[in-house]
Amino acid sequence: MSPLRPPPTPRTPLGGAATTPDHLPPPSPHTPRPAITLTAPPSKKKRRGGAAARSLRAIRAVRALFRSLPILAPACRFHGAIRAPGGASRAHDGHVSGASRTTGTLFGYRKARVTLAVQETPGSVPILLLELAMQTGRFMQEMGAEHLRVALECEKKPPGAGAGIGRTRLLDEPLWTAYVNGRKIGYAMRREPTEGDLTVMQLLRTVSVGAGVLPTDVMGGDAGAEVQDAGDLAYMRARFDRVVGSRDSESFYMLNPDGNNGPELSIFFIRI
């Protein structure tokens, strides 16, 4: 006769109740941060070499060919070009002649300061990250105007202030005085990208033009109480024409995908 055996009971963890399939812990509400796969911005130094020399020789040959052709005066003039500030001319599609294309993103929590990120490509690490002394929600309201001009000014270093005078790139200046449509709003500070900044760039790497909101849980579960109270993260991304006027002046003109009917945004960097 077999001895009596008690029915099996579920194992109970130390200091807790029994865990059954009907009482599994709820899943975590936070979405894990995406892996950062942004690439380094292309270096101009790497472009120099045999290919660059061959390209330069080809350009010189084309120039010599055009110089040998007779000069023909046009019988009429075209009046469709739009003159942009600083003397740069815009075509019908809004593109500034002689400018280079960049990607600009304005983002931030609605009740926190707005940040400007400039990238050479949507999938590269920003070459400039500037934090303005204006709330993101207020800046987005200013974008409702027909024209929005953001001027950023910094001072030149006086002679004898130290080694390397004049060698600092304009966009590498750390502190700026910021103006929005002629009104001083405070200062803008250049900073290095944080993990949160790179997460925003990673989430928007496939977005070339657009605006929207990134919920807090998408940004990760490490947000503190202050970030939670700041609201969702709003962003606006567009293509910009970058015009280098001189060593002490650069301009960024937003390209409107709908032509010239939308609001215009221009950002000016000036060292005086």
Segment 139-186, tens digit of pLDDT = 989 988 888 999 999 998 876 555 455 568 999 999 999 999 999 999
Residue 55 has pLDDT above 70, yes or no: no
Average pLDDT, the chain: 76
Locate 205 and state its tokens: 């790497």
Which CB contacts under 8 angstroms, 24+ apart, belong to 33-36? Answer: 33/195, 33/199, 33/219, 33/220, 34/199, 34/202, 34/203, 35/202, 36/198, 36/199, 36/202
Measure the CA–CA gap between 160 and 140, rounded to whole angstroms.
42
Q: Per-residue pLDDT averaged across 65-85, rounded?
A: 43
CB of 111 within 8 A of CB of 137? yes
- The answer to whether the CB of 120 falls within 8 A of the CB of 102 is yes
Report the DSSP beta bridge partners of residue 138.
none
Give me the pLDDT at residue 266, please: 96
pTM above 0.85, yes or no: no
What is the reported pLDDT for 73?
40
Domain parsing of the chain, residue ranges: 100-271
Q: Give the β-pairing of 113-119 and 233-246.
A: unpaired
**Helix count (H) and strand count (E) of the chain?**
5, 12
- Of the two residues 118 and 87, the one the predictor is more confident about is 118
Q: What is the mean pLDDT of residues 98-112?
A: 93
Question: How crowded is the C-beta side of 60, counted as CA atoms within 13 Å?
Answer: 6
Distances (CA, A) of 61 to 52, 54, 55, 206: 14, 11, 10, 39
In this model, does residue 58 exceed pLDDT 80?
no
Which of 83-92, 108-117, 218-227, 260-269 bottoms out in mean pLDDT, i.e. has the lowest? 83-92
pLDDT value of residue 90: 58
**Lowest mean per-residue pLDDT among 55-59, 222-226, 245-249:** 222-226
Lowest mean pLDDT among 116-125, 156-165, 259-268: 156-165
pLDDT of residue 83: 44
Residue 3, both tokens: 């001895």
CB 188 within 8 A of CB 114: no
How many percent of the chain have pLDDT more than 70?
60
Q: What would the two tokens of residue 137 be?
A: 């929600």
